[in-house]
Amino acid sequence: MVDIVADYLSGLPQRAVFQPYPAEQARALATEPIPTGGAPVDAVLKDFVERVAPYPFGNGHPRFYAWVNSPPHPLGVFAEALAAAMNPSVAGGNHAAVHIEHQVVRWFADLAGFGDESMGLLTSGGSMATLTALTVARHRAARRADIDVRADGLQGHARRFLLYLGTEGHGSARKAAELLGIGSANVRTIASNDGHRLRPDALRDQIVRDRANGHIPVAVMASAGTVNTGAIDPLDAIADVCAEHGVWLHVDGSYGAPAVLLLDEHRATKTALARVDSLAMDPHKWLYAPVDAGLVLVRDRHLARDAFSLVPPYLRTDDDPDGVSGPVWFSEYGFDQTRPFRALKVWLLLKHLGTTGYRDLIAHDIATANRLASGVRAAPDLQLLANGLSVVCFRCRPVDCAGDDQALDELNREVLNAVQLGGRAFLAGTTVNGAFALRACVVNPGSSAADADAVLAEVRATLSRLGGGQPR
């Protein structure tokens, strides 16, 4: 298996970035019956090598710039095996994995300015981190309104619970609003400024109006690095608004938090993090840990426990932190009971790279994205639409473009589709100010300036192949 892993990782750059899974193989998988007799390990692994390994979604390849999908650091790959070998449940207990997770959480809490009264845990990802944080926010808002949300849910009272989100805020917050009974119709979308950053003045106006109408503002979710454009919201000004009105401030740093916490140019944002109530970040994004690893920090540990703890007597624990049950259990601060040893890969990577090593890798990714952005600026048939952190959004805009916006969108969709299927580069699509855009997000230190140039060359070659570059 070590050889298979090594071949896979070292062979990635020579392969197509992406190729769709062959239809006949997909049909074969869909109809293959459950194995009854079993097979030798070698035969099973051969099947993996032939039918699984050749068809990744592209991440890890140096010219894959889609979504926020980093390659795993090799140490993280093998950390997964070590964690699986131990296979503890990190619900709680006085065993190594629990203490390692506490240490990892404390390291990030220290970096982000969350004090000793804070609590955190590793989650399956940014969506679960945000759901966890907003559960605590809802608990606080309900308690202040004399509603026992754990007993009654949100039933039986007329007031509306509201969540505030920037136009660029991640969709996971809307999903969380639905799951928490707030409802997506009660998510207020707050306008952004020209830089795609949430406008604190618009937020303030909306909260004032809502409170005057008797509604209950549960939380504001701001972003430290939006998925679309890499924009960082003005956290300090937003924290002022939240403090004025006693509203919980959650920051989604799923993508951008590592850059904010480690790079000097984001020091002001980092300082503002010391004022927020909760933070989501994803080691499986810009800290190169294999999926899955999210992290949530909550400033008020007591509130977090009140929102989640449901402990049957046989599991109640904090009588003796040095005994069998150890420190207060993670399962009292989140939804999951049995929890994997996610912390090991994050811990090993932090110990191996240190914050300095991480800073260099993240700075490298940003430099590669900047190279891409300059290439876009210099190309007469490309137009830069947004550039924040390591995200670059652009579109093809042929010289003397005669087409309308719709035709331009259509042309860019065609280019993107052809690039994705071409196997030489991979970008994602999005919209920026209503225009369809090609979106690159560089979270791969193995990607070089030459790769960035090659990706742009591929886009431009595809554009000229498709109808001479003019929108139809």
Among 80, 101, 210, 282, binds ligand PLP (CB under 6 A): 282
Restricting to residues 96-155, which ones interact with ligand PLP according to CB under 6 A? 125-127
Torsion angle, CA of 287/288/293/295, rounded to 10 degrees? 10
φ, ψ for residue 384, nearest 5 deg: -80, 130
CA 462 vs. chain centroid, Å, equals 30
Q: CB of 326: closest distance to ligand PLP in angstroms?
A: 28
In the complex with ligand PLP, the residue whose CB is nearer, 222 or 411, is 222
Restricting to residues 167-206, which ones interact with ligand PLP according to CB under 6 A? 170, 172
Restricting to residues 251-270, which ones interact with ligand PLP according to CB under 6 A? 252, 254-255
Please report, in angstroms and rounded to a whole number, the separation of the first and last CA atoms in the chain: 50
Nearest to 290 by CA among 1, 5, 62: 5
Q: CB of 172: closest distance to ligand PLP in angstroms?
A: 5
d(Cα 194, Cα 332) in Å, to the nearest integer?
42
Nearest to 233 by CA among 192, 182, 201: 192
The site that binds ligand PLP (CB under 6 A) totals a number of residues, namely 13
Among 68, 207, 261, 411, binds ligand PLP (CB under 6 A): 68
In the complex with ligand PLP, the residue whose CB is nearer, 276 or 415, is 276
Q: CB of 229: closest distance to ligand PLP in angstroms?
A: 10
In the complex with ligand PLP, the residue whose CB is nearer, 72 or 125, is 125
Restricting to residues 216-235, which ones interact with ligand PLP according to CB under 6 A? 226-227
Q: CB of 367: closest distance to ligand PLP in angstroms?
A: 21
Q: CB of 52: closest distance to ligand PLP in angstroms?
A: 22
In the complex with ligand PLP, the residue whose CB is nearer, 223 or 383, is 223
The DSSP element (H or E) to which 360 belongs, if any, is helix 343-378
Bridge partners for 382 per DSSP = 396
Q: Collapsing DSSP states into helix, strand and coil, what is residue 7?
A: helix
371 interacts with ligand PLP by CB under 6 A:
no
Which letter, b or e, does each residue of 20-36 get, where b requires 16 or more Cβ atoms within 10 Å of its Cβ? eeeeeeeeeeeeeeeee
Spell out the alpha helix ranges (H) of 12-125. Answer: 23-31, 41-47, 74-86, 96-112
In the complex with ligand PLP, the residue whose CB is nearer, 147 or 221, is 221
Residues in contact with ligand PLP by CB under 6 A are 68, 125-127, 170, 172, 226-227, 252, 254-255, 282, 294
